[in-house]
A = this chain, B = another copy of it.
Amino acid sequence: MIIRPRHNWLRMLFVWRGSVLQQIFPRLLLLGLMSLIVVVFHGEFFNYKIPLNPAPFTLIGVALAIFLGFRNSASYERFWEGRRLWGALLNYTRSLARQVTTMSGLPADSEQVAYFVQLLIAFTYSLNHQLRKTDPTPDLKRLLPPDLVQALLAVKYKPIMILQEMASWVQQRRAAGALDSITFTAFDQNFNELSNIVGGCERIASTPIPYPYSILLHRTVYIYCFLLPFGLVDSIGWMTPLFVVFVSYTFMALDAIINEIEEPFGTEANDLPLNTMSRMIETTLLEIIGKPALTFPQNKEAYISD
């Protein structure tokens, strides 16, 4: 995720890093050149004048507005739902840490409480790795005892298994008579919430926006942009390349942003900073049980958090 300070209005016109301009620059260049050629030949090729004007483009405008508008909101909702789920992860791991320190009958600074909190942290990291399809081994080894790590590496749905381990922990406390059914149920409700969070993230990660939408939008945008020079050349002449590039920039850049945030758990510049959030959860959970927070290495690029 990119976090930059707000510049004044003039400087914002010329920001290069962090905008998607880099990515679509070659295509815009191609379009600009094409428009230039169209202008030079007055839209005539092999003595045949291509008869177009702005009117039919406004008809396509209706379709474009619907496609872009829809895909944009649908993608942003996925992005924001992903963020909300990770926000809920923060809330419910905090709540469970609070419960374990005040409801389990154990002192807040005991070994066992610390172990439970480590499970919560490992739960967070393993969800992160599952969503990004990265290797969880280093983080699991750092946080959990070797035999549990071994068991986890053998299963497919690791966060669920860690959740299972937490539930066993509480169940053993109950078996030992340290807490009653009511308190167990209070834990259990928050386990339900964690289960919902895992499932919610898996849902977003496994179900893209229906494929034909992407195809349809992509085609409409690109055919529109490549026909546009012929439609404008008669009425605005030498301004055609400028306007074609301007219009195409807005449509193509939006298409590019949409593609990035549609899959919010990826590692592109505008995706959710799962690593940063995992570390933040680790810090706050450790603080709750009075452990010193870890210091993490700085990001290389100051304004991108991954």
A residues bordering B, Cβ < 8 Å?
A: 1-4, 6, 9, 12-13, 15, 18-20, 27, 50-70, 72-74, 76, 79, 83-84, 87-88, 90-92, 94-95, 98-99, 101-103, 155-157, 160-161, 163-164, 167-168, 170-171, 180-186, 188-192, 195-196, 198-200, 202-203, 207-208, 210-216, 218-220, 222-223, 228, 232, 235-239, 243, 246-247, 249-251, 253-254, 257, 259-261, 270, 272, 283-284, 287-288, 293
Least Cβ–Cβ distance between A259 and chain B, in angstroms: 7
Picked from B59, B88, B103, B189, the residue with its CB within 8 Å of the CB of A247 is B59
Chain B residues near A171: list those with CB within 8 A: 102-103
A28 to B42, CA, bound (A): 31
Question: Which residues from chain B contact A213 at a C-beta distance below 8 Å?
Answer: 257
Alpha-carbon distance between A133 and B265 when the two chains are bound, in angstroms = 29
Contact B180 A56 (CB under 8 A): no
A107 to chain B, nearest CB (A): 11
* Complex CA–CA separation, A272 to B208 (angstroms): 11
Q: Which residues on B sit within 8 Å (CB–CB) of A270?
A: 210-212
Cα A287 to Cα B57 in complex, Å, equals: 56
The answer for the CA separation of A235 and B60 in the assembled complex, in Å, is 16
A contact face: mostly helix, strand, loop, or mixed: helix
CB distance B67 to A65 under 8 Å? no
- Are A62's CB and B64's CB within 8 A? yes
Q: Which chain B residue has the least Cβ–Cβ distance from A87?
A: B203
B156 touching A287, Cβ below 8 Å: yes
Known: A91-B195, A102-B164. 8 other contacts (CB 8 A): A4-B211, A66-B72, A69-B70, A83-B207, A156-B287, A161-B287, A183-B185, A216-B253
A140 CA to B211 CA in the complex, in Å?
33
Closest B residue to A244 by CB, please name it: B56
| CB-contact partner of A2 in B92, B210, B216, under 8 A | B210
Residue of B nearest to A237 (CB): B51
Q: Is the CB of B246 within 8 A of A18?
A: no
Taking a contact as CB atoms under 8 Å apart, the answer to whether B19 and A293 are in contact is no
* Contact in complex: B57, A57 (CB < 8 Å): no
Mind listing 26 A-B residue pairs with CB under 8 Å? A9-B222, A12-B218, A13-B219, A13-B223, A15-B215, A18-B211, A20-B212, A51-B236, A51-B237, A51-B238, A54-B56, A55-B235, A56-B247, A60-B247, A63-B68, A63-B254, A94-B195, A98-B163, A98-B195, A101-B164, A103-B184, A180-B181, A183-B185, A207-B272, A212-B257, A216-B253
Name the CB-closest residue of B to A272.
Answer: B207
Please give the distance in Å from A174's CB to the nearest CB on chain B: 9
In the complex the two chains form, what is the Cα distance from A55 to B240 in whole Å?
12
Give the residues in chain B near A6, CB-CB below 8 Å.
259
Whether B156 contacts A211 by the Cβ 8 Å rule is no
B-chain residues with CB within 8 Å of residue A66 when the two chains form the complex: 65, 68-69, 72, 254
